[in-house]
Amino acid sequence: MNPERKSPAPTPEPRRISLTLHRPWFGWHPRPTVVFGGRGQPAQWGTGTWQLPTGDTTIRVFLYNRAWRYGEAEIELNADAGVDAVEYRAPALPFLRGTLQEKTMD
């Protein structure tokens, strides 16, 4: 065994958040698309747990109805902030923006 060989630096634990996606109470709305670190992923309405890339992360959520995107919202999460939950609310009308905000878990 070589004494000069150092063990690799420990990798940071993956960070997970709870993401709640609320749809308007009336009408039909397409499933949302969630974007973490530039990678879009289809999602479902309700609450889910997502693994974030390391470091600061931008989260975007939008709806797509085969003709245009709407309800887009974006939030920047700082790696040191310790945010563990985010909430998205879709707009009532298909030409408005959605809201995406940090949520406290009590």
Q: Are 91 and 70 in contact (CB under 8 A)?
A: yes
For residues 103 and 46, the model is more confident at 46
Strand, coil or helix: 62: strand
Write the CA distances from 106 to 21, 62, 103, integer angstroms. Answer: 18, 27, 9
Split into its structural domains, the chain has a count of 1
Asked if the model's pLDDT at residue 62 lies above 90, the reply is: yes
Task: Tokens for 24, please give them.
Answer: 């308007």
Q: What is the pLDDT of residues 70-93, one digit of tens each?
A: 999 999 988 887 788 999 999 988
Residue 84's pLDDT is 87
Q: Is pLDDT at 104 greater than 80 in this prediction?
A: no
Q: Is residue 81 part of a domain?
A: yes
Strand-pair partners of 97: none
The 8-class DSSP code of residue 37 comes to T
Domain residues for the domain of 84 are 15-102
- 6-45 residue pLDDT tens: 767 666 677 889 999 998 888 788 899 999 878 889 999 9
| C-beta neighbour count of 57 within 10 angstroms | 18
Q: What is the pLDDT of residue 3?
A: 59
Question: CATH no. for residue 94?
Answer: 2.60.40
